[in-house]
Amino acid sequence: MIPSLMPTYGERNLAFERGEGAYLFGSDGRRYLDFGGGIAVVGLGHAHPHLVQALKAQAEKLWHTSNLFRIPGQEKAGQRLVENTFADTVFFCNSGAEAIECGLKLVRKHHSHNGAPEKYRVITLEGSFHGRTLATIAAGGQAKLTQGFGPVVDGFDHVPYGNFNALKGAITKETAAVLLEPIQGEGGIRPLEPDYLREVRAVCDEFGLLLFLDEIQSGMGRTGKLFAHEWAEIKPDVVAIAKSLGGGFPVGACLATEKAAAGMTAGTHGSTFGGNPLAMSAVNAVLDLMLADGFMEHVIEIGDVLRRKVQGVASRYPKVLAEVRGLGLMLGMKAVGTNTDMVKALQENGLLTVPAGDNIVRLLPPLIIERSHVDEAVEIIDRTCGSLAEAS
Ligand SMILES: *Cc1c(COP(=O)(O)O)cnc(C)c1O
């Protein structure tokens, strides 16, 4: 008999009652250090007083009006994102996949608006993940996403990860854009070289393509910059964000330049829930904290400490950990055994992490963690590696 919850997720045994900062309190009575952050969503930790206060205050006033009316909180959040990024304009939606969908529609509209409707194809990278809707599984392209959901939405050309010549060679008269994650998340914390990103930017300019970045996981401070592409000092045309944007409130956004968004006029796109007052109170509260002096410096500094210490563990247990990689607080530990076994063992020892492709165990802690959290996590990773080394 099918369970009352559609069984699309694996077996889940643990539930939580409460969260506080970097900690989650399980209904098993145990306290867990949360270095999964609900898959890079809880950027400011659980129950951050500023977020709680903002959401409570808004909840007592007004939840939803629809986009038939002006939403002051949305105007404020949009203005702040424009002021602090490459973007001139923002569309708010409710999830990452929706943010990508908006960007894909924008890319097609851009070229048809400019008299080149034949340009509709998007080049994406192998191993990428862009969401679970029909178009975004086609963009990701991996068989495990598209299997059984055919016919696959047309318009995507996949090229090997990080190979610039392959990408350039895939450009045709029909190419509209290049879509990529500056650091592949689900694919296994695989950062693209800054030089590669700069080359892709240049080739997009040469061929009149839009550069569309998926910063749903790598954005919102995760790498110590508001967006990971800032490390390569490039300016994209379109960026999709979500995950940490609402600190746990479901919200996404598609950011674009004025030029890229040409054609996105009244009636071309919309969302019933997108950017509602409740969601915008969360986003504005997140921005209050992330845009404050010193926030990003802290992420860079603490990310460095975490990375160095985990690398230390990896060098002590080369038979358990093959590699540590990533940027800021978007780190991956490559397991020698299976990553899921390691995630389970870490959980048993009180540390929550997230598995990813390429046998990676992801560390995606709240961006507000302190040295004490790093020390505690590293102690658990060290101990867990010790017992895994003995068992192997
Ligand atoms: C999580 C994620 C998505 C999909 O976001 P949803 O909110 O689950 O739709 C897309 N791209 C990347 C890089 C992600 O990490």
Over residues 217-273, the pLDDT tens digits come to 999 999 999 999 999 999 999 999 999 999 999 999 999 999 999 999 999 999 999
Domain termination residue (choose one: 250, 274, 290): 290
Over residues 284-327, the pLDDT tens digits come to 999 999 999 999 999 999 999 999 999 999 999 999 999 999 99
Within-domain flag for 11 = no
CB-facing half-sphere around the CA of 194: CA atoms within 13 A: 8
pLDDT at 392: 78
Question: Domain check: are 139 and 167 in the same one?
Answer: yes
With bands split at pLDDT 50, 70 and 90, how would you rate the model's confidence at 14?
very high
Question: Domain check: are 200 and 316 in the same one?
Answer: no
pLDDT at 82: 98
Within-domain flag for 373 = yes
Residue whose Cα lies nearest atom 11 of ligand 1: it is 130
Full domain range(s) for residue 315: 16-34+293-391
pLDDT at 391: 87
Is 216 a pocket residue for ligand 1 (Cβ < 6 Å)? yes
C-alpha of residue 195 to centroid of ligand 1, in Å = 25
What's 112's domain CATH number?
A: 3.40.640.10
Question: Domain check: are 274 and 298 in the same one?
Answer: no
| Active-site position among 164, 212, 214, 334 | 214
Question: Domain check: are 119 and 245 in the same one?
Answer: yes
The maximal CA–CA distance of the chain, rounded, in angstroms, is 65
Domain termination residue (choose one: 270, 290, 310): 290
Residue 256 makes CB contacts below 8 A (sequence gap 6+) with 87, 88, 89, 90, 91, 103, 106, 237, 238, 239, 264
Q: Which residue did the predictor score with more confidence, 198 or 391?
A: 198
Within-domain flag for 8 = no
Residue whose Cα lies nearest atom 6 of ligand 1: it is 96
| Active-site position among 243, 249, 309, 334 | 243
pLDDT at 243: 98
Question: Domain check: are 149 and 258 in the same one?
Answer: yes
Question: What percent of the chain stands above pLDDT 70?
Answer: 100
Question: What percent of the chain stands above pLDDT 90?
Answer: 99
Within-domain flag for 216 = yes
Domain termination residue (choose one: 266, 290, 314): 290
Is 129 a pocket residue for ligand 1 (Cβ < 6 Å)? yes
- Give the number of domains in the chain: 2
Within-domain flag for 164 = yes
Question: Domain check: are 186 and 246 in the same one?
Answer: yes
pLDDT at 85 over 90: yes
Over residues 165-206, the pLDDT tens digits come to 999 999 999 999 999 999 999 999 999 999 999 999 999 999
| Active-site position among 86, 91, 92, 129 | 129
Is 214 a pocket residue for ligand 1 (Cβ < 6 Å)? yes
With a threshold of 0.85, does the pTM exceed it?
yes
Q: Which two tokens stand for residue 182?
A: 């500056």
Over residues 91-109, the pLDDT tens digits come to 999 999 999 999 999 999 9
C-alpha of residue 47 to centroid of ligand 1, in Å = 23
Mean pLDDT within 107-127 = 98
Q: Which two tokens stand for residue 337?
A: 């055994």
Question: Domain check: are 273 and 182 in the same one?
Answer: yes
Q: What is the CA radius of gyration of the chain?
A: 21
Query: Strand 210-214 vs strand 175-180: parallel, antiparallel, or unpaired?
Result: parallel
Question: Domain check: are 316 and 167 in the same one?
Answer: no
Distance CA 224, CA 187 (A): 20
C-alpha of residue 96 to centroid of ligand 1, in Å = 4
Mean pLDDT within 86-92 = 98
Mean per-residue pLDDT over the chain, rounded: 98
